[in-house]
Chains A and B, each alone.
Chain A
Amino acid sequence: MEKISKHSRTVGIVGLVLFVIGIVGWQGAVHSVPDVLELTESAQWGLLVGMFFFFEALGSGCLIVGALKKHAGMLTVGVAGIVGACVMILMDLYHPEAAWRLFLAPNVGSPMFLDVLFSTLCIVFGILLVVALSKGIDRLAKVMVPAVVVVAALFPLGTAWLCTTLPGQLGWSTLELASFFLGAGVCAGASTCFFKMREGRALLVAFLAGLLILNIAEVGFLIYGTAESLDQLTMREVVMGKFAPLFWTSVVAFMAIPLVLALLKKVDVRIAAALGVIGVACSKYLFAIKGNLFPYLSLDNVSVQLLDTASGYPVMSYIPGFNEWLACIGAIGLVVAMVAVALPLVSQGSKVALS
């Protein structure tokens, strides 16, 4: 087997160093008192869960596109993305040492079990398909292509099911979010594809337009929805409140502008694709924030001031802490390192299989 190139090795080492820094940051967050990971009573799921959503979208999108195109490289990126998602969730747990219970003693009726199941299957089936494509095992590849597509589509849908069945989180109460999850996943995957495959500019345009429409549609719900409705409060806070700068920056800079760039044939499509991936990350982070904003609570004329933003009470403002950013950078480093090391090996394997 040929050696991994110097460039890949350097990228891999840098990624691993970032991962170690992330682990140190995460440890710092876990041992801080009292606000571990800067989370509060009002903000239970923050940046790490937002990044889980992003890695999940990236991984499942790459797996779907990679399986359909039978592209071992894309599948490798997909598997690395799913591993990144799992790392993010493990870092988000306060007792990751007990995570074995998720596999050996799970509550199979819990929607979160779907995440555990499909993320595991994505990794296992993804690796099997990469091996099949690299080694030229056609029978295994034939079986694994539909299997990977199915589990990679079910993974984000399982998360959507988890989020939309949480009665305590109004920001995630609508079932339309399932399309948001799948759409964002395919968009992230497709956008990533364009780093490797430059064909199909129209496809990228369609995905970016889809992501933009999904986000603008939420603004539409806000404008034309019932103003008094509690679930409108969450979106109002994201679109017009404290998180508005991030929301509008993501819509304009990472969805609308890349869409225009993708339409301009003189512009390198990879620029639009890169911006699109950042757009998915931003929208996923805002999605995590939105779900946390306002717990449901009212009884006739009695309302709980602490939780009632209509009364002018200051709403939750969640800003990720330094250690949370370090943990995220660490997970990104791990994914980059995995891709940097695995991609050349997969490419070599593919060449051998083809020859």
Chain B
Amino acid sequence: MHYGMLLDLSRCVACGGCVMACKRVNGTLGDVYWCNVYTQEVGEYPNAHLKSMPMGCMHCEDAPCVEHCPTSASYRTEDGFVLVDQEKCIGCRACVSACPYNARHLNLYDPVENPYWGDGQEQMPFEKLTTAKHIKGTAEKCVFCHDRVKSGIEPACVRTCVSSARVFGDLDDPESEIVKEIQRRKAEPLARELGTKPSVYYVGQ
């Protein structure tokens, strides 16, 4: 089992739904966005248009963040999730510096003192549960919603994507939709030349 994701840039409409779904499900704090959609204006009026690029952790097979973590707080599971054990993280930011995709963040906020929805608003039980997972001064990143995946539910960004720009599945299964789509559309990972073997593939313009 090796989970991965395919992102179709030609389908992405940059609505930001995945960004908000991720934030809602994972309760990330402050300015931390595990899932992001970068946009760029291209061309000039009247032919200008917006290009979008969803970004997150690439869950690399040879993840430089895992290699550079001095305390083994960053690790890769057998089914392809690159995760962080926040209890072991010392906040050295070696992993943040090592990630060529800028996917890692250092959580600079306290989940109670600095909730992402602003001061003076009460947390709901679900929010309390999700925000409590974050520890100030530790590295964080997209976890491919591994708790949901273990329960048989797709990651939040995949489930919420209005234009079906995201496909999630087992890269080891030749019959899976993701593998078929990667082969059919000749999808490529971002910056393959770095040799990190990402589990996230991109296709389209």
Interface residues of A (CB under 8 A from B): 30, 33-36, 39, 41, 44-45, 89, 92-96, 98-99, 101-102, 105-107, 109-113, 116, 162, 165-169, 291-292, 295-308, 311
Contact = CB atoms under 8 A, between A and B. Distances in A.
B205 A99 contact: no
Contacts of A105: 71-72, 88
Nearest to B99: A168
Contacts of A102: 70-71, 90
Contacts of B97: 44-45, 166, 168-169, 291-292
B191 A299 contact: yes
Contacts of A166: 64, 68, 94, 97-98
Contacts of B9: 302
Contacts of B44: none
Interface centre among B31, B89, B90, B105 (most CB of A within 10 A): B90
Contacts of B194: 167, 296
B108 A33 contact: yes
Contacts of B202: 299
Nearest to B31: A34
Given A92-B92, A110-B69, A113-B70, A299 B53 contact: yes
Contacts of A291: 97
Contact of B70 (A94, A116, A292, A308): A116
- List 8 A-B pairs, minimum CB-CB distance, nearest first: A94-B91, A94-B137, A112-B70, A101-B71, A107-B72, A304-B38, A44-B93, A295-B102
B175 interface: no
Contacts of A96: 90
Interface residues of B, number: 47
Contacts of B196: 167
A34 B90 contact: no
Contact of A109 (B67, B99, B110, B138): B67
A102 B53 CA distance: 37
Given A44-B106, A304-B40, A107 B70 contact: yes
Contacts of B113: 33
Interface string B96-116: 111111100110111001100
Given A44-B96, A302-B51, A311 B40 contact: yes
Nearest to B202: A299
Given A101-B70, A168-B99, A311-B40, 18 more contacts: A34-B109, A44-B96, A93-B90, A94-B138, A95-B91, A102-B71, A105-B72, A106-B72, A110-B70, A112-B68, A113-B70, A165-B68, A166-B64, A167-B64, A167-B100, A168-B100, A291-B97, A298-B191
Given A167-B100, A295-B102, A305-B38, A33 B114 contact: yes
Nearest to A30: B137
Contacts of A168: 64, 96-102
A36 to B, nearest CB: 5
Contacts of B72: 105-107
6 contacts: A33-B110, A41-B105, A93-B92, A112-B68, A304-B53, A305-B39
Given A35-B108, A306-B38, A98 B71 contact: yes
A29 to B, nearest CB: 11
Nearest to B55: A304
A298 B106 CA distance: 23
